[in-house]
Every structure is written in C-alpha cells, then in structure tokens.
Amino acid sequence: DGGITQSPKYLFRKEGQNVTLSCEQNLNHDAMYWYRQDPGQGLRLIYYSQIVNDFQKGDIAEGYSVSREKKESFPLTVTSAQKNPTAFYLCASSARQGSYEQYFGPGTRLTVT
C-alpha cells in the first residue's frame, strides 16, 4: 500500500521536553510538509521540504525543527521553546511540480501538560 504514515496517533508529554513526530512516505514524492491544526482552525504550515537535505520555514516555524536525510522521511521535533505545542500535527507529501494534490497522513495529536 502506498501512502503516508505518522506515528504515534496520540502523544503525551510533559512541559519542557522535546518530542519528535515521525512521518514516512512510500509514494516517491519529492516534497514533504508539516502542518499544525488547532481546534476549529485551518492548517498552518510549519516547515516544508522540496528535496532531500533541504527544507524551508513555513508560517509558524518557531519552536520546531526538522530534518530531511532521506526522501521517505521528514521527522518534526517540537522543542521546549514552542509556547503552545498542544495541537493536531499533520504531515503531507506531493510530487514536486504540476499539482496541488498533497497526500496527508492520519495525523498525530500531541498533548503537552
């Protein structure tokens, strides 16, 4: 099956701890993205990567970090510097050009207390 996987589905952390969210795709897509969604809100772009070993900040990158060492993987670290980390995090991928069709993973709901 081709698609995007995110793990875990639910994640609980104590304030002050860094946490890494996993995102893997086997669609052979060049581009990958991380979004954050708060209740009743649209998605906001955190980071995106168009190619391996390259990534750009999105609209709300502060307090987050990413890496893109492999085409298939784009992990997101929520650092202790992120003021309000509790949210629903969505990873997506797409072919590099020619479509706005992004394929989304099932999401990770992070709760920090």
Partner 1 sequence: LAKTTQPISMDSYEGQEVNITCSHNNIATNDYITWYQQFPSQGPRFIIQGYKTKVTNEVASLFIPADRKSSTLSLPRVSLSDTAVYYCLVGDIFTGGGNKLTFGTGTQLKVEL
Q: Which positions ≥6 away from 68 have C-beta within 8 Å?
A: 32, 49, 51, 52, 53, 54, 55, 74
101 lies in the site for partner 1, by CB under 8 A = yes
Sole window of 19-27, 29-37, 65-73, 78-86 interacting with partner 1 (rule: CB under 8 A): 29-37
Contact call for residue 94 and partner 1 (CB under 8 A): yes
Cβ atoms of 48 and 33 closer than 8 Å: yes
Per CB under 8 A, contacts with partner 1 among 4-23 are: none
Tell me the window of 18-26, 44-52, 61-69, 75-83 that interacts with partner 1 (CB under 8 A). 44-52
Q: Which residues are near partner 1 by CB under 8 A?
A: 29-31, 33, 35, 40-45, 48-51, 58-59, 88, 90, 92, 94-107, 109
